[in-house]
Every structure is written in structure tokens, then in C-alpha cells.
Structure 1
């Protein structure tokens, strides 16, 4: 067994072919920043010995989202603040090895989307899911909206994103956001990873890619450009600035529509 550690993500390769990716940013409840995403992206490079991925958070929390202190308006080059997140989660979603999210505690915003990017999600009784972009003045990525919609359906996805509805573990299981909810969630997730890693890797990766192609949306270039324009406008808005400030200051936001 080999193990590598970094300030934000721990990477462990087990002898059974399971690669374990542990988010570790305890001061911010495992909130993601660009350095952590770069580490995660590097760990998602396909390798012949990696037959399954286990994604989890340290310290009893899965992931509190994207670190809002690193989130601001679009760059002068047109890059959106969450482009690196979008790219990294697409890489996870399309990874040839199947993935399991061990979701203990909170999965908020980008943490929600990180779990949704995995093929399976195992939760614990204290698991909570929340998508707060409406409270932050942000138009969430179409990739993330599509993932949630595929998992829970359009009507429920609207409740999650437009109402910022919080789901406890029981509701998440009922809605199909969780595949299992166990007192010993770690053992269940480990067993699932071992099962996945024990199957024929070519068959598993081929079927996973097939499922991905079957579920992919077919937006045209003009539609994608329009969505990007909407997101850029939201990131640059006064409401987004106010939403971030209110969240960090733990007070209700005062939105003006500007």
C-alpha cells in the first residue's frame, strides 16, 4: 500500500485497486479551493492499477462547498471563478473507473456537486445535502444542474436549486440522491468499492462511458454561450458580492437585483 499526502487532498492507493481521495481542509470544513482542485485533478489521471475511486472528507464532514473567500467576479480573460471546479468534476464524472462518494456530514454546494459527480453515494444518518447558489446570487453551472436533474428529476432539482431546500439523509435516500444510508457508512462504501474493483475493468469502464453518453445533454454552441453569459453576469453582480458577504458574516442577505 502506498500513500501520498498534500495540504488539501490525501491520496491512498490500496492493494485491491481502490484509490481513496480524502479532502482535508478542517479549518473550513473541507471547503474546496483551487489548490485542492488542482491536487484532485492530478489524482484523477487514469491509471491501469486504479479500478475504483472512493471520495470522502476528513473530520466528519464531506465538503462544505467552494471556499467563498476565493470566489469573485469573472477574470479579464473571460474565465469564470468556478471553471476549474467544473472541469475537475467533469473529469471525475467521466473517469474510466467507477467512483463512490462516502458522504458523512454536510455536502453543500460544490460538495453536493462533487458527490453527484460520483457513480454512487453512501451516506450516514447525519448526512445533509444543500445547494445554496440562489442565496449567493450565483447561476450554477449547467453541468451541475444536469447532474442533479438526472439523479432526482427536474421538479425536485428545482426545489434543491431555486428554493435551496436542505435534504436530510432519509429524504436524500428517498429522492435517489443517496444509494445507501448506513450507521457504518464507511464499511458499506469500502465494500462497494471492493465489489466494483473486482469486476472486469474493461467491461465496467465501457458500460460507464456508455451510460455517460446516453445521459448527456445536447446543447448547441449558441445555447452554451447564452448559459455562460448568464453565469458571468451573475458572478459579476452586486447580489453575488452581497451573497458572499452575508454568508461569511452569517447574516441574511439583502439582495437588490443589481
Structure 2
């Protein structure tokens, strides 16, 4: 089945966005990101967003078959992902991620881009870029750091440590972890939707501005160069192939 995004507008201003890509455990690709981007366009009747995955998995990451070296135009293979998640993070209305099952890589970042995360007991978080030979986006690194702190963010990204639901709650990655996670997530959405929209959106934007320390042009260029080099490396090619072939990677540092 082709990847799809179900968009359901419920009573009270709750927009439910459900990722469905069964063949890839709801992995994101540019087609699915385009649908998500369109669903994030402002709509006067939408007061809160709920993001979830179909079939018991939140999101298995970015479809590695669509990753490769930078394009001839200088765009990185995850630029579309970075732009879409920034749009979600900075959306005028609050968002809730309902995390059931695995949230891996870009799926982890998708959950982190939401304002709140409600997890089921089977929730699992993993950030594997070190195993894939790539340098993750500074936006994603910053999001994780704001949630769990610098030392723990380093553990997640540099060691590819898995976090189960209990640990994710203790680390602050999850706001709630309950057996009735779906009901809790919708209850939170209803609470958010019931408050004054202008006050909620105004405070959300204020929190965002207070939490971001903008990088200078030189630092941004350096980070982009590091990421372009990693995406074009032999190690990144080996990391993708090893992951898809389900074997340990053989990195050479090239």
C-alpha cells in the first residue's frame, strides 16, 4: 500500500493526523511529508493537532531507501523533513503526539516536534544516526536537548541508546505514560482546544522564542557543511546498506 495521511477534523477543533505506511512501519518519505505539510496549513476551525501512527507503530523514521548524498543543488536529503518538522513545532496551535510502539529517528523527532507526548506502555524511542553514518539536523538535536538535557541528548544520539516508555517518562521525553494512552491524549487535546485560542497560541509562540538561541551565519554554514560531508560519505552509504540488510555496519571513517 502507498503511504497515506488520514486527516480527521473532530468536533471541538481537534485535527487528528494519522500516518499510515504499513510496508515501512509508518516511515516518512517526501510524499508523506508533503501530505503532512499540507495538513499543517492554518485553518480557523483547528485548535489542536493530534499526531499518531496506524497499526501499533508511531513512526519508524525516514525511509532509508530515499536517503543518499546531497543533491547537485546543495540540498540535503532531509531538508524537506527539517522544514516540515519546524512547521509543526512552530504551528500556531498546540500539538499532541500519541506514541504507541516505536518512534525511531525521524519518528522520534516528529514526536519531539509536538508540544506534548502521551505514550502507551509499549512506546520505544531510538535515535540511530551514529549507526547510519550521518550528522543529524541541528534543529532535531536542539529539540531533544531542550526535552532531556544536553548529557542525556548525547547519550541518545551518540550511543543510539533505546529508551522504553518508563525511561522516556523519567527523562521527560514523555509527559504521560498510561495504559489508556489514546483516551488520555484525546482528553488533553480537548483541554487545549477548550481554552482561549489567542492566549494558547500567543504563549506557545512566546515559549518558542524564549527557548531558541539563534546561531550565527558562520555557525549555520559550518553545521550544514558537516552534514553534507556525512551524507556524502562512504560510511553513510555503508550504514544505510547495513541497516537495510540487517547486519552490523563496517565503518572505515571515509
Please tell me the TM-score bracket, short chain as reference: over 0.9
Task: Choose which of 118, 122, 127 in structure 1 pairs with 2:118.
Answer: 122
Counterparts of 1:12 and 1:181 in 2: how far apart (Å)?
24
Deviation, 1:162, is 0.3
CA displacement 1:183-208 (0-9 Å, x = unmatched): 01100000000000010000000000
Task: Choose which of 3, 10, 17 in structure 2 pairs with 1:14.
Answer: 10
Counterparts of 2:67 and 2:178 in 1: how far apart (Å)?
34
Indicate if the aligned counterparts of 2:3 and 2:26 stay in contact, CA closer than 8 A. Answer: no
Residue 159 (str. 1) matches residue 155 (str. 2): yes
Task: Choose which of 33, 40, 56 in structure 2 pairs with 1:37.
Answer: 33
Partner residue, 1:203:
199
RMSD (Å), alpha carbons:
0.7
- TM-score, normalised to structure 2's length? 0.99
Deviation, 1:218, is 1.9
- TM-score, normalised to structure 1's length? 0.97
Partner residue, 1:3:
none
Could you tell me which runs of 5 or more consecutive residues in structure 1 were left unpaired when the two chains were aligned: 1-5
Number of aligned residue pairs: 253
Could you tell me which runs of 5 or more consecutive residues in structure 2 were left unpaired when the two chains were aligned: none
Counterparts of 2:128 and 2:3 in 1: how far apart (Å)?
26
Counterparts of 1:48 and 1:136 in 2: how far apart (Å)?
41
Residue 131 (str. 1) matches residue 162 (str. 2): no
Residue 141 (str. 1) matches residue 116 (str. 2): no
Where 1:162 maps in the other structure, the secondary structure is helix
Residue 108 (str. 1) matches residue 104 (str. 2): yes
Task: Choose which of 232, 237, 252 in structure 2 pairs with 1:236.
Answer: 232
> In the superposition, relative to structure 1, how do residues 233 and 40 fare at CA in structure 2: closer, same or farther (>3 Å)?
same
